[in-house]
Structure 1
């Protein structure tokens, strides 16, 4: 199994209380931790969002994903760089293919391309994108992925679709990675998203209960079989909200500190929903070291090849990284 983690960028109220002038040094320090020689982490990730969640804060920061991609590309040397996931409709796909190729060159060929149809209605409307229904968003995703595939495979793109048109667009420089930038198609939609993934993805990213993960995997297998593609050529990944401790009391204390930190910014109801995601029985990576190892080993047996962890404490307490690296990673690798 391979591993990455999210760098806090503010979207999930994970930089609250830190002066904005210190945000970059906080983010860069955590990127440098993953980038160090001998690090067990293969990748770092950010989210592609503009407004905080679950409350749309008027004052709290959410740093833009592709600006961070460029900054991390220039300030790290080993770790791979991804977004989970870029919303197709937020940028013209031809422009996005150009931006991504430039970031890949800056990074020396370390970029991962996470892509999805998008879902966060509040920021869609706030930024003037409207909010098309799900089938239309998925059609935009399909067209955009085709344009990016052409761009990186051939250096040019010609496409005339319902949503996007390019006419002889030139893409130089090309990405440094042979075959183009690896595509991560995010989402578990069985009729469209997983079908797109079966055709274009090097990686999928879908989440749910262990049984749901197994079911989505079999749906993906059906699509690859119909296309004549090797199912095992696609690495299946999932994201995990992660709070681990040496004991159940340690886990509870960490959750209490997290709740106390965000409560002044979220209010009572939103705080209850926020912390509920971590206290849910479905939170696979919340628990003691032994509990989390057992659950992730089960996911590995179901075909999980890449775990991407979101540690909500990271900007304030990096001891969770030390604990994960020392106790959990060896058992999973």
Structure 2
């Protein structure tokens, strides 16, 4: 199993209390630490407003961070989980990603999805089209990016996007283009797009739900004549780890206490419950056991989100020492 780690960018109120002038220093230090550690990749979210409620707290833009991380790291791969197709013209996005790939020496990943955060969509003037249109844009946009990265230009007279000889030069350094991570578990469209184009998928749910989505993906691959084993399946995990269960509880309480003034009691309680149900909440032994079970059902890549990362890296260090080597 490979491991990625999210770098806090403010979206989940994970830079609260840090002066905005110092936030890049905090993010870059975490990225460089990951670059020196056992992590295969670093990740950010593609969002403009905080969640689960919008606020005036800082949220840094994903692709700007990609370029910055490319310049201050040497080894780790660089991804977003996931870029919202509706936020940028796909030909322009293909150009941006190709530039990041050049800066990084061929380390860019493209996480891509249909998007969901309605408040954010409307606030930035994108409207909020129905799910069928969002997924239609995903399908056409992925085709445009695939063309751009494999041929150097893209042409598509689609329902949602029209490009006519959009030149993307220089092309990405990576042979065959930047790897596509198709995020989401939609069975009729998203996983079908993944079966055609993805190097990786990203969906979660219970172990039973993960297995079901995997079988849907396999069926789409069979229909298209693609080898299912060519696609690595990944999941994101909210991670709080400590040497003992009681210490994990204390860490969780501290995280929730930091969030509560910003999100309110109801949402804070829901966040607490969500963390408690995560496969990566608890002691190293508990986490290894749960992730090993996931691996037995086909999980090949785990991306960890540590809510404490900007304030306390001891949980990350413990995960690096006692979880990663065992998987």
- Report SS of the residue matched to 1:316: coil
Give the equivalent residue in structure 2 for 1:141.
138
Which of the numbers 300, 303, 308 marks the counterpart of 1:313?
Answer: 308
State the Cα deviation string for residues 59-81 of structure 1 (Å, max 9, x = none): 20110000000100111111110
Question: Which runs of no fewer than 5 residues in structure 1 stay unpaired?
Answer: none
- Report SS of the residue matched to 1:44: strand
- Asked whether the equivalents of residues 194 and 219 of structure 1 are also in contact (C-alpha less than 8 Å), the reply is yes
- Asked whether the equivalents of residues 3 and 308 of structure 1 are also in contact (C-alpha less than 8 Å), the reply is yes
- In structure 2, how many angstroms separate the alpha carbons of the residues matched to 1:156 and 1:201? 20
Give the equivalent residue in structure 2 for 1:20.
20
- In structure 2, how many angstroms separate the alpha carbons of the residues matched to 1:279 and 1:3? 21
Give the equivalent residue in structure 1 for 2:292.
297
- Asked whether the equivalents of residues 12 and 52 of structure 1 are also in contact (C-alpha less than 8 Å), the reply is yes
Report how far residue 278 of structure 1 moved.
0.8
Aligned counterparts, 1:316-331, within 5 A: 316-331=311-326
Give the equivalent residue in structure 2 for 1:269.
266
TM-score, structure 2 normalization: 0.99
- Report SS of the residue matched to 2:43: strand
- In structure 1, how many angstroms separate the alpha carbons of the residues matched to 2:296 and 2:161? 40
Which of the numbers 40, 43, 49 marks the counterpart of 1:42?
Answer: 40
TM-score, structure 1 normalization: 0.97
- In structure 1, how many angstroms separate the alpha carbons of the residues matched to 2:176 and 2:194? 16
- In structure 2, how many angstroms separate the alpha carbons of the residues matched to 1:55 and 1:170? 39
Aligned counterparts, 1:69-80, within 5 A: 69-80=66-77
- In structure 2, how many angstroms separate the alpha carbons of the residues matched to 1:243 and 1:149? 37
State the Cα deviation string for residues 109-148 of structure 1 (Å, max 9, x = none): 0000000000000100110101011111000000000000
- In structure 1, how many angstroms separate the alpha carbons of the residues matched to 2:22 and 2:155? 44
- Report SS of the residue matched to 2:261: helix
- In structure 1, how many angstroms separate the alpha carbons of the residues matched to 2:325 and 2:180? 28
Report how far residue 277 of structure 1 moved.
1.3
- In structure 1, how many angstroms separate the alpha carbons of the residues matched to 2:184 and 2:260? 30
Question: Which runs of no fewer than 5 residues in structure 2 stay unpaired?
Answer: none
Q: Could you list the runs of 4 or more consecutive aligned residues of structure 1 that deviate by over 4 angstroms after TM superposition?
A: none
State the superposition RMSD in angstroms: 0.8
- Report SS of the residue matched to 1:180: coil
Give the equivalent residue in structure 2 for 1:92.
89
- In structure 1, how many angstroms separate the alpha carbons of the residues matched to 2:264 and 2:150? 49
Give the equivalent residue in structure 1 for 2:2.
2
- How many equivalent residue pairs? 327
Report how far residue 272 of structure 1 moved.
1.7
- Report SS of the residue matched to 1:317: coil
- Asked whether the equivalents of residues 54 and 274 of structure 1 are also in contact (C-alpha less than 8 Å), the reply is no
- Report SS of the residue matched to 1:199: helix
